C-alpha cells in the first residue's frame, strides 16, 4: 500500500511541541510487520530553522520550493503555531505570501486517488496562518486561547470584511469540514492538543487500529475533542 504522505512546515520561532508532537504520532510504525502507513517530511524556507525553544534547531528534509512544486503529492499538510511575534514576523512577507499561496493550492487540490482523503491540519496559532489564506470563513475553528483575537483578525482581513468564524473556545481540536475540493480542515487548540488532533487524523486516514497503536506507542491517553463542560 502506498504511504500516506505528510508535510510539516517549519519556520523561525515555531513552537517545538506543535510540530514534534504530530511528527511523533505520524511516524509511528505499523502494528504489524508491514511498512509504516505514513511518510513524514519537514520543509522550510531556510535551513537550519531556530524554533521557539533555544535548545532546538532543526534541519528540514526539504526546501519550501521543492515541496511546493509537488504539494499535490502530499495527503496531510501540518502548520504549527508560535508566539504572536513569530506569526507577525512571517505574515505579510514574501515568504508568508508564498505560504498563503501554498495553503490555497493545497486546499483547492482534490485528494489523490491512492488515498482519497486530504487533510490541512493546523496546531495552536498555526490556524492564524491558515486564516490568512482566506479558507476559513463561515467555519467552526479553534486555536490557542491566547490567539482567538489574532485568528479572527486574520480571517476578517483575508475575507475583506466579516469572516463569520465560529470560534470554539472549549475544544482540543475542531473538524472544520471540507473545502470545495474535498480537503478536510482540522485545527488543534494549544500545543499538546496537536497530539490529540494528529491521533484523530491518523484514525481518519489509516484506521482505528493504527490510531490506537500510535497512542499506545507514545503512551499518550487520547482525549476527547471537548475538554471543558459545555463545549
CATH code for the domain of 115: 3.40.50.880
pLDDT greater than 60 at residue 119: yes
Nearest CA among 178, 179, 2 for reference residue 73: 2
Sign of CA dihedral 49, 93, 87, 155: negative
For the chain, give the percent of residues with pLDDT over 70. 97
Is position 226 within any domain? no
pLDDT band at 226, cuts 50/70/90? low
The total domain count for the chain is: 1
180-203 confidence digits (pLDDT tens): 999 999 999 999 999 999 999 999
Question: Residues 91-99: what's their mean pLDDT?
Answer: 95
Nearest CA among 151, 149, 85 for reference residue 123: 151
pLDDT greater than 50 at residue 228: no
Is position 97 within any domain? yes
Is position 35 within any domain? yes
What's the mean per-residue pLDDT of the chain?
A: 94
Is position 231 within any domain? no
Q: Which residue has the cell 486517488?
A: 113
Whole-number Å distance between alpha carbons of 211 and 3: 15
Question: Residues 4-14: what's their mean pLDDT?
Answer: 98
Kindly state the cell numbers that stand for 15. 513552537
E strands, 84-188, are 118-122, 140-141, 166-167, 173-178, 183-188
pLDDT greater than 50 at residue 229: no
For the chain, give the percent of residues with pLDDT over 90. 90
Sign of CA dihedral 167, 169, 170, 174: positive
Instruction: Identify the pLDDT of residue 37.
Output: 96
Total-model pTM: 0.96
pLDDT greater than 80 at residue 219: yes
Domain ranges, residue 151:
4-217
Instruction: Identify the pLDDT of residue 179.
Output: 97
Question: Residues 19-30: what's their mean pLDDT?
Answer: 97
Instruction: Identify the pLDDT of residue 7.
Output: 98
Give Cβ neighbours of residue 198 (< 8 Å, ≥ 6 apart): 21, 22, 25, 26, 78, 121, 188
Instruction: Identify the pLDDT of residue 124.
Output: 97
pLDDT greater than 80 at residue 231: no
Amino acid at each position: 500500500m502506498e504511504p500516506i504522505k505528510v508535510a510539516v512546515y517549519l519556520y523561525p520561532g515555531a513552537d517545538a511541541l506543535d510540530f514534534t508532537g504530530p511528527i511523533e504520532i505520524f511516524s509511528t510504525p505499523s502494528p504489524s510487520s508491514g511498512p509504516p502507513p505514513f511518510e513524514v517530511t519537514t520543509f522550510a524556507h531556510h535551513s537550519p530553522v531556530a524554533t521557539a525553544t533555544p535548545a532546538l534547531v532543526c534541519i528540514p528534509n526539504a526546501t519550501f520550493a521543492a515541496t511546493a512544486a509537488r504539494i499535490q503529492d502530499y495527503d496531510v499538510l501540518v502548520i504549527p503555531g508560535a508566539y504572536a511575534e513569530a506569526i507577525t514576523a512571517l505574515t505579510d512577507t514574501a515568504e508568508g505570501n508564498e505560504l498563503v499561496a501554498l495553503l490555497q493550492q493545497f486546499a483547492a487540490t482534490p485528494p489523490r486517488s491512492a488515498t482519497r482523503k486530504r487533510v490541512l491540519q493546523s496546531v495552536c496559532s498555526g490556524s492564524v496562518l491558515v486564516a490568512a489564506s482566506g479558507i476559513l470563513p463561515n467555519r467552526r475553528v479553534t486555536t490557542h486561547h491566547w490567539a482567538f483575537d489574532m485568528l479572527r483578525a486574520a480571517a476578517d482581513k483575508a475575507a475583506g470584511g466579516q469572516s463569520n468564524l465560529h470560534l470554539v473556545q472549549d475544544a482540543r481540536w475542531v473538524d472544520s469540514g471540507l473545502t470545495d475540493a474535498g480537503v478536510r480542515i482540522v485545527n488543534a487548540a494549544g500545543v499538546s492538543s496537536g497530539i490529540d488532533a494528529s491521533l484523530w487524523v491518523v484514525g481518519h486516514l489509516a484506521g482505528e487500529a493504527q490510531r490506537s497503536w500510535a497512542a499506545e506507542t507514545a503512551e499518550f491517553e487520547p482525549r476527547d475533542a471537548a475538554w471543558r463542560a459545555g463545549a
